[in-house]
Chains A and B, each alone.
Chain A
Amino acid sequence: MTSINEIILLSGMVVVTFSIRYILVAFSNKYSLPGEFEKYLEFVPPAVLTALIVPAVFMPEGSWNISFGNAYLVSGSSAAIAGFVFPKKTLAASISTGLAVFFLIRLLSYS
């Protein structure tokens, strides 16, 4: 990638990312959000995150792999179960359980 292209790409990403994070906060004194909009906004994170998670878990090599040999599927499922079991600390429970299971699998398969 040429450095000029790199600068264009980075500037674009910075503008897009920062605008999303800042736009509502910047204009909060002048305008307020319609309630409907806020309600529908709630669907954005689960939709985007699921679209990222599902292929990575079920098709890590680009094709279906539903077996105990699929470390992503096994760790991902453990993370999901841990998340449901600890509803107050979902994020920390999912991350620590998922990572622990994954590294355990890796350790066992290399030894």
Chain B
Amino acid sequence: MYNAPKKEFILGMRDTAPLLLGAFPFGLIFGALAVSSGLSIKGALAMSAFVFAGSAQFIAVGLITAGAPIPIIIVTTFVVNLRHLLYSAALLPELKKLSHPWRLVLSFFLTDETFAVSAGRYRKEDDSPYKHWYQLGSSIIMYLNWQFWCAAGLVLGSRIPNTTSWGLEIAMIVTFIGMTIPYIRTKPMVVTVLTAGAASILTLQLPYNLGLIISSLLGIGAGVSAEQILSFKKGSKENT
């Protein structure tokens, strides 16, 4: 007996509920920052509706405020969102069973939170053919929540001064901490995290947040190298 699609959909929404907590102050601060950045209200709403990527939107607004050139903002968006490539690679075995409209829709709505929750559902052993409905439920609730709080942030930001000094960025920080911890299990991952962290401090002074791109790439490079060195050592031990 499988859960009906509707049941999966509701379960996906329910299991995503605790994560909405992190997205709500994050959406508010995005809206509030957008007001003072020089982005129009329509532009900010369109960004939330069509880009739908919290951290990238947040950084883009910061870059717009700093007067960064458009190509830099787009490249930064690319690097910040590159992690979604891993998410879609991880979900690929499940997603490729689906029809094209489904793939399109689920890809558009892919976020850190929906990935985390849905990967857990796909991993469960029951062979329900409707697990993608669960991902859809998670996607839709994340999307509606994000649109709502971004709009609220826009209204709030234009009415109440200093909304941006409330420190709501903390929501992004704690969400990312919760996303990062599960990765830190192997030595190469520790190398990645330490390298990216140290580099982000050292490059903070660079203009237009370029330090973010550099630190991310250095972290990835360091982790991959560490992995290769370790597997090489392991290989040579096995041979002797």
- Which residues of A are interface residues toward B (Cβ below 8 A)? 1, 3, 5-6, 8-10, 12-14, 16-18, 20-26, 28-29, 33, 38-59, 62, 71-72, 75-76, 79-80, 83-84, 87, 90-99, 102, 106
- A24 and B21 contact, CB distance less than 8 A: no
**A43 with B200: in contact, given A21-B110, A28-B92, A99-B21 (CB under 8 Å)?**
no
- Which residues of B are interface residues toward A (Cβ below 8 A)? 18-19, 21-22, 25, 38-40, 43, 46-47, 50-53, 55-56, 59-60, 64, 70-71, 73-74, 77-89, 91-92, 95-96, 103-104, 106-108, 110, 112-113, 116, 166-167, 169-184, 188-189, 192-193, 195-197, 199-201, 204, 211-212, 215-220, 223-224, 227
Closest Cβ–Cβ distance, residue A45 to chain B (whole Å): 4
**Which applies to chain A's interface (DSSP): helix, strand, loop or mixed?**
helix
**Which applies to chain B's interface (DSSP): helix, strand, loop or mixed?**
helix
Q: How far is the CA of A35 from the CA of B18 in the complex (A)?
A: 34
Chain A hits for B96, CB < 8 A? 25, 28-29
Q: Give me 18 A-to-B residue pairs in the complex whose CB atoms sit less than 8 angstroms apart, sorted by A's number.
A: A17-B52, A23-B88, A26-B103, A44-B83, A44-B216, A45-B83, A48-B79, A49-B83, A49-B180, A50-B197, A52-B172, A53-B176, A53-B197, A72-B169, A75-B173, A94-B175, A95-B171, A97-B174
Closest Cβ–Cβ distance, residue B209 to chain A (whole Å): 10
Chain B residue with the shortest CB-CB distance to A5: B70
Chain A residue with the shortest CB-CB distance to B166: A106
- A55 and B173 contact, CB distance less than 8 A: no
- A79 and B180 contact, CB distance less than 8 A: no
- A98 and B177 contact, CB distance less than 8 A: yes
- A48 and B80 contact, CB distance less than 8 A: yes
- B25 and A1 contact, CB distance less than 8 A: no
**A53 with B177: in contact, given A12-B70, A41-B89 (CB under 8 Å)?**
yes
Q: How far is the CA of A87 from the CA of B73 in the complex (A)?
A: 35
Chain A residue with the shortest CB-CB distance to B15: A92
Chain B hits for A97, CB < 8 A? 174
- B179 and A1 contact, CB distance less than 8 A: no
- B81 and A96 contact, CB distance less than 8 A: no
- A99 and B170 contact, CB distance less than 8 A: yes
> Which of B43, B112, B166, B200 has the most CB atoms of chain A within a 10 A radius of its CB?
B200
- B167 and A71 contact, CB distance less than 8 A: yes
**Additional 5 contacts, C-beta under 8 A, given A54-B197, A95-B21:** A50-B200, A56-B172, A76-B177, A91-B178, A96-B21
